[in-house]
Amino acid sequence: MTIHVVPIPSTIELTAPAFSLGTTNIAGDTGLAVDSNSTLLVFDATVPVAVGASAAGSAVLPARRDHVHTTAGTTVDNTIARYDGTAGAMQAYTSGGPVITDTGDITASAQPSVGASGASGQSNVTGDNTIYTCTWDEIWDIGGNFASNTFTAPTSGKYLVSALVNADGIGSAPQIGVYVVTSLRTWYAYVTDQSANNVTVVDMDASDQMTIALQVNGTGSKTVDVLGGSTRTALTIWKVG
């Protein structure tokens, strides 16, 4: 003979979902159930703030693996971030920095650059083989590295130099030299024309100095002048590497 026993009905309480996300499966309390049309809380009602240069993500319900920026970056839309030599470290500029416009133009407001014209009053300075250091009237000086006719390299690198020196009173002098003189070495350009130009790329260490010199040999005395003005005597310096 078979006896069928009917279980006595029991009440199951429906509660709000309270699931936890973990690394293992763990059984919950007995006697509790969740209705199939319940809403599971995943997001909080806090509107997230913009992530800044070095901000970490945050929320009322923190995730186990939250989003964190460990190094500084940049939040300026058109400013180029820089790499400081440390793996994974992108840095914002403390001031200034290269900027890309909407049209693709790149401006490097602190990139060293100098433009100068020959100063007036450089009369009877060479001709007897004297090496004369030219004087200049500054037109622009991005970075503030040019003073007293001397350019001082702010950082180590390669600098493009164009030195045009227009001399007067050379007569039939056989040799004219325009020198780019740096702390490391002197770069020579010899010509036999009245207008002498020395265009070269020079290596400079930080704090090295540069001047431009003129040497004329053959007149027998100091009878050679350096003509002033940007169309006659001109100097430009750009950092190119």
Residue 192 confidence (pLDDT):
73
DSSP symbol at 75: -
pLDDT digits (tens, 9 = 90+) for 27-73: 777 667 777 677 767 666 777 666 655 555 555 555 555 555 555 54
- pLDDT of 153 > 50? The answer is yes
Q: Are 122 and 228 in contact (CB under 8 A)?
A: yes
Per-residue pLDDT, averaged over 184-200, amounts to 88
Strands (E), the chain: 13-14, 32-33, 82-83, 90-91, 99-100, 106-107, 113-118, 122-126, 128-133, 136-142, 146-147, 150-152, 157-168, 175-182, 186-191, 195-204, 209-217, 224-226, 229-239
Highest mean pLDDT among 27-41, 106-120, 149-163: 149-163
Q: Which fold has domain 113-239?
A: Jelly Rolls (2.60.120)
Comparing 197 with 98, the larger pLDDT belongs to: 197
Q: How far apart are CA 48 and CA 81, in angstroms?
A: 24
Predicted local confidence at residue 172, as pLDDT = 77
pLDDT-based confidence at 151, cuts 50/70/90? Answer: very high
State the chain's mean pLDDT as an integer.
Answer: 80
Map out the domains of the chain as residue ranges. Answer: 68-110, 113-239
pLDDT of 83: 65
Query: In sequence order, what are the residues at sequence separation of 6 or more whose Cβ sits closer than 8 angstroms to the Cβ of residue 149?
Result: 133, 134, 135, 136, 211, 212
CB 102 within 8 A of CB 109: no
Instruction: Give the bridge partners for 113, in sequence order.
Output: 142, 238
Please check the confidence at residue 125 and state whether its pLDDT lies above 80: yes
Q: Which is more confidently placed, 238 or 73?
A: 238
